[in-house]
A and B are shown apart, each in its own frame.
Chain A
Amino acid sequence: MRRSFPLFAILAVPLLLTILTLIGLFGALIYDGAWDVIGSALLGGVIGVALWAWVRARVGHRS
Chain B
Amino acid sequence: MQTRTLKGWSWVHKWSSLVSTTFLLMLCITGLPLVFSHELDHLLLDEPWAPAHADGRRLSLDQVLETALARQPGEVPAFMSFDEDRPVVNVTSRRPDAPEGQYSFQPIDQTSGDAAPLVAGHPVMEFLLQLHTDMFLGLPGMLFLGAMGLLLVVAVVSGVVLYVPFMRRLVFGTIRIDKAARTRWLDYHNLLGIVTVGWVLVVGVTGIVNTLATPILAYWKDTALKELTVAYADPAPVGERASLDAAVERAKVALPGKTLQFVAFPGTAYSTDHHYAVFFHGDTPLTTHLTTPALIDARTGELAAIAPTPWYVKTLALSQPLHFGDYGGLALKIVWAILDLATIIILGSGLYLWLGKRRKAI
**Is B177's CB under 8 angstroms from A28's CB?**
no
**Is A22's CB under 8 angstroms from B328's CB?**
no
Q: Give the B interface residue count (CB, 8 A).
A: 40
Q: Which residue of A lies closest to B200 (CB)?
A: A21
Known: A10-B172, A13-B172. A50 touches B192 (CB 8 A): yes
B-contact bits for A23-59, CB 8 A (1 contact / 0 none): 0010011111001110110011011011011101110
Collect the chain A residues with CB atoms within 8 Å of residue B339's CB. 43, 46-47
Q: State which residues 228-251 of B face A: CB under 8 Å.
A: none
Q: Which residue of B lies closest to A14 (CB)?
A: B194
**Is B173's CB under 8 angstroms from A47's CB?**
no
Collect the chain B residues with CB atoms within 8 Å of residue A43's CB. 199, 332, 335-336, 339
**Is A47's CB under 8 angstroms from B338's CB?**
yes
Known: A10-B163, A30-B286. A25 touches B331 (CB 8 A): no
**Is B338's CB under 8 angstroms from A39's CB?**
no
**Is A40's CB under 8 angstroms from B194's CB?**
no
How far does the alpha carbon of A4 sit from the alpha carbon of B164 in the complex, in Å?
Answer: 11
**Is B335's CB under 8 angstroms from A29's CB?**
no
**Is A2's CB under 8 angstroms from B328's CB?**
no
CB < 8 Å neighbour of A18 from B197, B286, B328: B197
Using a CB–CB cutoff of 8 Å, the interface residues on chain B facing chain A are: 160, 163-164, 167-169, 172-178, 191-192, 194-199, 202, 284-286, 289, 318, 321-322, 327-329, 331-332, 334-336, 338-339, 342
Q: A14-B195, A52-B173 are in contact. List 4 more A-B contacts (CB 8 A).
A: A18-B197, A28-B327, A29-B322, A57-B176
